[in-house]
Chain A
Amino acid sequence: MRHGFTAIQALALSLALAFLVLPVVAVFLQVSPAAMLTQLGSETATQAIVVSLRTNLVADLIIIAVGTPAAWLLARHRVFPGRRLAVTLLELPLVLPPAVAGIALLVAFGRNGLLGHQLNALGLSIPFTEVAVVLAITFVAGPFYLRQAITAFEAVDPRLVQAAATLGAGPWRTFRSVVLPLALGGLAGGWALAFARGMGEFGATLIFAGSLPGVTQTLPLAIYSEMNRDLDAALAIGGLLIIIATAVLLAVKMIPSWNPTPASSPTSARRFATSSSTSR
């Protein structure tokens, strides 16, 4: 009986491994390292890599700068009227298909959109610019960070926060020297998810920002455009994207081992370990 159950579990794990790894393996069977190096020298690929990295960097800075304090507020105040509604609204982009996100951004920030007149008056036109790519990424990837950040902050023992206050630390100092170090692993995991989602962003970007090499054409858009012209080039750029994504994933897996608070009590260290493992 126990034997049979284990066999089912093993089968399920094999199924998951085979299904999730096979397509990635297939890409690297089709494309040689030499072809990827050649693509690294091509204008399409270099421009797309620059656009992707630059837009994701800006979007991630915005997501972290705004998302971190917002998540801390939501995590510290577990009960207030409208909290559940606020969290649900923040998570809404997670369930929107990217095409819907793109159209929604267009009718909000487009030339004829909800804020179109105000933006036009300021001389701003967002669609077809790199700003549009940043907004699309922020919109679809932001909730991944927010969700994870709220969980990471909720796992911080409130007694530690109280203790810091009792010892005379102001809210800013408490946050910086107690809360942030304890939540860092979870926050980094959230950022990795947001970065991965942002690097892969396709539909919302195509609809809201269009696709123009060197301006709005990110890696996924370049792969799609190249696929119809030159499949080998598309595969090689795809291979590069997989390598970048894997590098980020590995880098983040290393972060919890940085354990930044050698002076923290055993209790808090254990809590930290728990929070960073459950958050993944």
Chain B
Amino acid sequence: MSTLRWARHVTVATAALVMLATAACGPLVGAVDEPTVLAAASLTGVLPAINAAARFSFAGSDTLAFQIQQGAPADVFAAASPKYPQQLFAQGLVAQPRPFAINSLVLIVPRANPARITGLRDLSRDGVRIVLGDQGVPVGDYARQALAALGLSGVLRNVVSLEPNVKGVAAKVALGEADAGFVYATDVRPVRRKVRALRLPAAAQPDVEYQVAVLARAPHPAAARAFVRRLLSPTGRRILVDHGFRVPAG
């Protein structure tokens, strides 16, 4: 076979494949009728107790919001702040978000406490190694908010790493590599043998409200609504409280 004809084969087939790839943008539909839930990393421990059969993808709320904007074939979005659900709601990508849980921000230090931190003021001492959530990651934004409320924004110069989600912050402190980090109260439980948690003064405590919403293009809308119903039900609220969350009134 001549080189020319061979090359024509390649060209035609390549063009066909590219067209096929561009055309085939339909959602991937799972076989079982269980919802796919995109949830904030801080919900890793609790949501499987609400519905063990659902499929979960845990990450930073901002990452998940980005995935939804890019058309992720998921059913439910549970975020660690109202910011992203409301943003997606305004864009018509999710149905009306509902608040379902409240968390609080705490400062964690390694059990050995190498930098001898007993309060937030100690964070501004030279050489203290602090890890925060990155800008736009809710736990990082809440931490910056709390520090600003206390007039301690100077602490930011001691930051050694900006983590993409709250578990990254908790892990670096639990491993003793960082001297302190801000996480949610509920993130302390999995690492409680390795860290100590310090409460924030009430004046600096931000409102950490979780909101949940069903995606506008959910492949399993009925299962998605059932998941949200259970989350908001007395059973769901009890499970949330058992895992250290507070629940909104009503």
Could you say which of A10, A106, A206, A216 contacts B13, with CB atoms under 8 Å apart?
A10
Rounded to whole angstroms, the CA-CA distance of A228 and B70 in the bound complex is 12
User: Is there an interface contact between A212 and B164, defined as CB atoms closer than 8 Å?
Assistant: no
User: Is there an interface contact between A225 and B6, defined as CB atoms closer than 8 Å?
Assistant: no
Interface membership of B159, Cβ < 8 A: yes
> Contact mask A121-134 → B, CB, 8 Å, 1/0?
00000011000000
Interface membership of A246, Cβ < 8 A: no
Within 8 A of A (CB), among B86-143: 114, 129, 131, 134-137
Q: Chain B residues with Cβ under 8 A from A198's Cβ?
A: none
Interface membership of A227, Cβ < 8 A: yes
- Whose C-beta in chain A lies nearest to the C-beta of B13? A14
Interface membership of A117, Cβ < 8 A: no
Q: Chain B residues with Cβ under 8 A from A96's Cβ?
A: none
Q: Chain A residues with Cβ under 8 A from B193's Cβ?
A: none
Q: Chain B residues with Cβ under 8 A from A217's Cβ?
A: 162
Q: Chain B residues with Cβ under 8 A from A228's Cβ?
A: 60, 62-63, 65-66, 134, 136-137, 164
Which of A1-9, A82-90, A140-148 forms contacts with chain B? A1-9
Within 8 A of B (CB), among A62-110: 106-107, 110
Rounded to whole angstroms, the CA-CA distance of A17 and B21 in the bound complex is 13
Rounded to whole angstroms, the CA-CA distance of A110 and B110 in the bound complex is 14
User: Is there an interface contact between B164 and A206, defined as CB atoms closer than 8 Å?
Assistant: yes
User: Is there an interface contact between A211 and B177, defined as CB atoms closer than 8 Å?
Assistant: no
Provided the pairs A14-B14, A22-B18, A228-B136 are in contact, do residues A211 and B164 lie with their beta carbons within 8 angstroms? yes
User: Is there an interface contact between B161 and A210, defined as CB atoms closer than 8 Å?
Assistant: yes
Could you say which of B10, B17, B134 contacts A225, with CB atoms under 8 Å apart?
B134
Q: Chain B residues with Cβ under 8 A from A211's Cβ?
A: 134, 161-164
Rounded to whole angstroms, the CA-CA distance of A63 and B153 in the bound complex is 41
Provided the pairs A6-B9, A106-B175, A128-B177 are in contact, do residues A212 and B18 lie with their beta carbons within 8 angstroms? no
Within 8 A of A (CB), among B60-76: 60, 62-63, 65-66
Interface centre among B9, B114, B178 (most CB of A within 10 A): B9
User: Is there an interface contact between A112 and B175, defined as CB atoms closer than 8 Å?
Assistant: yes
> Contact mask A236-275 → B, CB, 8 Å, 1/0?
0000000000000000000000000000000000000000
Rounded to whole angstroms, the CA-CA distance of A211 and B135 in the bound complex is 12
User: Total number of A-B contacts with CB less than 8 angstroms?
Assistant: 91
Could you say which of B18, B62, B131, B176 contacts A112, with CB atoms under 8 Å apart?
B176
- Whose C-beta in chain A lies nearest to the C-beta of B5? A6
Q: Chain B residues with Cβ under 8 A from A3's Cβ?
A: 1
Provided the pairs A10-B9, A228-B136 are in contact, do residues A212 and B63 lie with their beta carbons within 8 angstroms? no
Q: How far is the CB of B80 from chain A (nearest CB, A)?
A: 13
Q: Chain A residues with Cβ under 8 A from B149's Cβ?
A: none
Q: Chain A residues with Cβ under 8 A from B134's Cβ?
A: 211, 225, 228
Rounded to whole angstroms, the CA-CA distance of A72 and B21 in the bound complex is 46
Provided the pairs A106-B175, A211-B134, A231-B66 are in contact, do residues A216 and B6 lie with their beta carbons within 8 angstroms? no
- Whose C-beta in chain B lies nearest to the C-beta of A125? B129
Q: Chain B residues with Cβ under 8 A from A11's Cβ?
A: 9, 13
- Whose C-beta in chain A lies nearest to the C-beta of B161? A210
Q: Chain A residues with Cβ under 8 A from B162's Cβ?
A: 210-213, 217, 225
Provided the pairs A18-B17, A228-B63 are in contact, do residues A210 and B9 lie with their beta carbons within 8 angstroms? no
Rounded to whole angstroms, the CA-CA distance of A233 and B74 in the bound complex is 26
Q: How far is the CB of B91 from chain A (nearest CB, A)?
A: 14
Show the binding face of B for A, using Cβ within 8 Å.
Answer: 1, 6, 9-10, 13-14, 16-18, 21, 60, 62-63, 65-66, 114, 129, 131, 134-137, 159-164, 168, 172, 175-178
12 A-B Cβ contacts within 8 A?
A: A2-B1, A6-B9, A10-B9, A15-B17, A17-B14, A22-B21, A107-B175, A111-B176, A209-B161, A211-B162, A224-B164, A229-B62
